[in-house]
Amino acid sequence: MQNWQKDRNYRKHENPNGSFTYVITIDGMDVEVSEEVYKAYSQSDRRERYCAETEVGLLLSLDRMDDEDVLLSYMTDEHIESAEDTAMRNMSVQQIKTALPLLEGEEQELVQRLYFDGISIRQYAKDKGLSDFAIRHRERKVLAKLKKLLEN
């Protein structure tokens, strides 16, 4: 990471009386600004630097794809599922639908809403008036129970 503080064009100076002076350099000229302007400018600059730093991690090269075993098909807008994967998924869905009536009402609703209706845990928790953590805990318990039912 480069030393961005050397290149930045805004500074905060402490005066002898303990107050602060906020300066932004524009076209080579130092301009004194209010604290609000300084904060807005520095936050915007920090956001730009953050985005630039994270973009580096998002770049993808063929070498990186090879090193990390990233399949090219996953990099396209539409991932095409293999026939085998589709068949296995369909079989699993049928097994789950068969075992679903063996669960209690609230457990059935949780599986239905999260896995078949595609609602997020956050939204489901909000609808139920519970925390995300509580729904995740219930989800783990229900999935463990469902797994036992499917194994028998």
Strands 20-26 and 10-14: antiparallel
| Domain presence at residue 147 | yes
- Output the pLDDT for position 34: 87
At 26, list the tokens: 């524009």
Q: Is the pLDDT of residue 77 over 60?
A: no
pTM value is: 0.43
Q: Is the pLDDT of residue 25 over 60?
A: yes
92 and 42, same structural domain? no
Which of 18, 36, 67 finishes a domain? 67
Q: Is the pLDDT of residue 137 over 60?
A: yes
Arithmetic mean of pLDDT, 43-59? 70
Instruction: Give 8 or 64, the one with higher predicted confidence.
Output: 8
Domain containing residue 115: 83-151
Q: How many domains does the chain have?
A: 2
Integer Cα distance of 80 and 75 in angstroms: 11
147 and 90, same structural domain? yes
Q: Lowest mean pLDDT: which of 32-36, 75-79, 89-93?
A: 75-79
Mean pLDDT of the chain: 77
| Domain presence at residue 45 | yes
